[in-house]
Amino acid sequence: MGCEIRQARIACEHGQTTACIRRAALHRRVSESWLRSVAWCESRLDPFATNGQYAGLFQFGPVLWNALRYRRYSRFSAKWSSLAAAYAFSRGMSGQWACA
């Protein structure tokens, strides 16, 4: 698994959005397909998507984003929003997304 995470991390840092989702899923041990389907539903895999106060790949609102440990990073980063979503999913917060 370490090699898979490393490969996904490198691809993510080169701008591959789905690799960021994969890395986060592996890191937090949540379903990659679940994360990907939520990101598709929320933003069509666009890290720069907005809808009112919601932003990024997983359409984080400011309240949820500021409650998570990744709040110091941009909601528009595929890397950080994927890690934040995977963290939230691993903590039982998937109900924050209508698409989940």
Neighbours of 21 (CB within 10 A): 31
Place of tokens 């209508």: 98
Spans in the chain with pLDDT lower than 50: none
Phi and psi at residue 40, to the nearest 5°: -65, -45
**Sequence-separated contacts (24+) of 5-14 with Cβ below 8 Å:** 12/78, 12/79, 12/82, 13/79
Neighbours of 34 (CB within 10 A): 17
pLDDT in tens, 54-73: 999 999 999 999 999 999 99
Predicted confidence at residue 1, as pLDDT, reads 66
Measured in residues, the chain has a length of 100
